[in-house]
């Protein structure tokens, strides 16, 4: 078994290396995905009208003190 695997590895090493899809378009796909991701989240964060309650000022009211 080991000899067969070794033989296959040697045969593949001698074969001319041809670029696959990831070699050709990998960075392009990654860049495109990052662009779409950024565009969508940029829209969501700025235009969607979501109320982001980040500041507690004016929201937290002290309770009346009970003695």
- Note the pLDDT of residue 9: 64
Q: CA-to-CA distance for 54 and 67, rounded, in angstroms?
A: 33
- Taking only the tens of pLDDT, the chain with its 67 residues reads 666 666 766 666 666 778 898 899 999 999 999 999 999 999 988 887 767 666 766 666 767 877 6
Q: Would you state the structure tokens that stand for residue 60, as one six-digit string?
A: 């937290």
- Which CATH number does the domain 1-46 belong to among 1.10.3470, 3.30.300, 4.10.51, 3.20.20? 4.10.51
Give me the residue spans of the domains in the chain.
Answer: 1-46
- The answer for residues whose C-beta is within 8 angstroms of residue 50's C-beta and 6 or more apart is 44
- Note the pLDDT of residue 44: 87
- Note the pLDDT of residue 35: 97
- Note the pLDDT of residue 13: 61
């Amino acid at each position: 078994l080991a000899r067969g695997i070794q033989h296959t590895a040697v045969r593949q090493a001698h074969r001319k290396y041809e670029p696959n899809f990831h070699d050709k378009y990998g960075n392009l796909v990654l860049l495109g995905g990052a662009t779409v991701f950024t565009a969508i989240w940029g829209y969501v964060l700025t235009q969607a009208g979501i109320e982001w309650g980040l500041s507690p000022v004016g929201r937290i009211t002290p309770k009346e003190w009970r003695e």
